[in-house]
Amino acid sequence: MSDPMTYDVAVVGYGPVGVTAANLLGQMGLNVAVIERNPDIYARARAISTDEEVVRIWQQIGLADRLTADMLPGCGANFVDAKGVPFVKLLPGPRGNGHPPQQFIYQPALEKVLRAGVNRFRMCHSYSSTSACA
């Protein structure tokens, strides 16, 4: 029997990057330990948009359709002056990756879907002083 405390990879930090890595590593069949100091998803919007290359990564882990259902594509960004008059509009062009070049996100909702995705795989989670392995 293998040592239950031995893992192939430890993912420290379970934000969007860590949870995406955990999905990729779980998909590869690796034995992963996730270590995060806060048990709950931080419930404030921070990152506001994603690009097509990142959506390709989420496509690879089978979550792109579910994630993009909550995103706003094709909005661009309008810069306005003090009187609210637009002076620059930025709308990135596609680079051929098969998804809109920029989509607006709500980070807590995105992290929730990504964490649910990790539940498809055998993984050990450790939050502060508690831990759970499946």
Binding site for ligand FAD (CB under 6 A): 12-18, 35-38, 46-48
In what helix (H) or strand (E) does residue 90 lie, and over which residues does it extend?
strand 86-90
Nearest residue (CB) to ligand FAD, 28 versus 45: 45
Q: What are the φ and ψ backbone dihedral angles of 10, each rounded to 5 degrees? A: -110, 125
Nearest residue (CB) to ligand FAD, 18 versus 121: 18
Minimum distance of ligand FAD from residue 104's CB (angstroms): 10
In sequence order, which residues have a C-beta less than 8 Å from that of residue 90 and are 6 or more positions away? Answer: 76, 77, 79
Minimum distance of ligand FAD from residue 63's CB (angstroms): 16
